[in-house]
Amino acid sequence: MDTKGFRAALGQFATGVTVVTAKAENGDRIGLTANSFNSASLDPPMVLWSLKNDSTNFDVFAEASYFAVNVLAADQVEVSQRFSRYVEDRFAGLDCAEGIGGVPVIAGCAATFQCRNVHRYSGGDHAIFVGEVLDFEVNDRTPLVFHRGDYTVTMPRPAQESGESEIAGGYVDDFLLPLLARAYRLFGLPFYEHLNERKIPRDEWRVLATLSDQSCTRDELAWIIRMPEEILDSTLGALFDQEMIAEDEPRVEGRLARLVCTPRGSRRVVKLLAVAKAREADVLADFPELEQQDFKHMLRSMIARLGGSKRQR
């Protein structure tokens, strides 16, 4: 048997992550991370999970009348780690309630199942525990996922029902460049309309917003903003004329002038930034916080990989 291959094949079955808890006869709280959890029966409601025979908690689970399955949320990786490693007290500082039979129920989970421990079967080097669900709780939290030996989170599958089904997998729907371009255009549209209504050219907004973050020389700005030189120079000219930008101090011999936003320019940026942020909040509202962070992280990493990060310059 190719054990490594077998593990890899099992790892393709994406699971949630749970911490199964119980209370020992001496009152100690015990628990371990388990992804072998699954549903077993709907009526009566039953669940199952398996425990390795050499678990330090084996005897407690074998004798316990009750156990609880705590389905971890995406922000509980640390909980999963502490319940899968040797830690003096896995419950130290953890917010827990007392469930049926005094079994610890961990706060902040995506779901919890409180069970009567009804069957135990031998399954090779593991034992399969079956619990009758006495009580459960479901919370509106993104669950933590385990896949290919690592933690991950769910991503909604792109809708196939939409009119785009014929092109799924094709250039338009699967290739990153058109996806980025379409997302960029659709995302930016209402904001750019807002700029149009106020007769503010997009290029002026881009230059102003960049300078509101940092002062820089014209060449640094050209590098960050990637705008054709002629357009950049005419945009800078227009912004100077409107007294939106200035050079930071009188030129010193040999030192390149740094461009800065004037108070007037800053006021314009603040107003427009509020509109841009509202648009972002609107678009991202349906995505869980963690996915939003992951998405931005991916874009930043991609920019860095493509050599566009400021730090890599």
Ligand X SMILES: Cc1cc2nc3c(=O)[nH]c(=O)nc-3n(C[C@H](O)[C@H](O)[C@H](O)COP(=O)(O)O)c2cc1C
Binding footprint of ligand X on the chain (CB under 6 A): 17, 32-36, 49-52, 55-57, 80, 84-85, 146
Please, what is the minimum distance in Å from the beta carbon of residue 54 to ligand X? 7
Please, what is the minimum distance in Å from the beta carbon of residue 14 to ligand X? 11
Burial class from Cβ neighbours inside 10 Å (0-12, 13-18, 19+) for residue 44 reads: exposed
Between β-strands 66-71 and 18-23, what pairing exists: parallel, antiparallel or unpaired? antiparallel
Please, what is the minimum distance in Å from the beta carbon of residue 61 to ligand X? 8
Structural tokens at position 117: 């421990």
Cβ nearer to ligand X, comparing 21 with 212: 21
CA 198 to centroid of chain Cα atoms:
36
Cβ nearer to ligand X, comparing 150 with 241: 150
- For Cα atoms 149, 155, 157, give the angle at the middle one, nearest 5 degrees: 120
Structural tokens at position 1: 């048997």
How far apart CA 140 and CA 181 sit, in angstroms, is 32
Cβ nearer to ligand X, comparing 83 with 205: 83
Please, what is the minimum distance in Å from the beta carbon of residue 265 to ligand X? 52
Q: What SS3 class is residue 253? A: coil
Instruction: Give the residues across from 113 on adjacent strands.
Output: 69, 136
Cβ nearer to ligand X, comparing 38 with 312: 38
Please, what is the minimum distance in Å from the beta carbon of residue 56 to ligand X? 4
Structural tokens at position 37: 């959890």
Cβ nearer to ligand X, comparing 57 with 114: 57
Cβ 263 vs Cβ 244: under 8 Å: no
Please, what is the minimum distance in Å from the beta carbon of residue 219 to ligand X? 50
The count of other CB atoms within 10 Å of the CB of residue 131 is 24
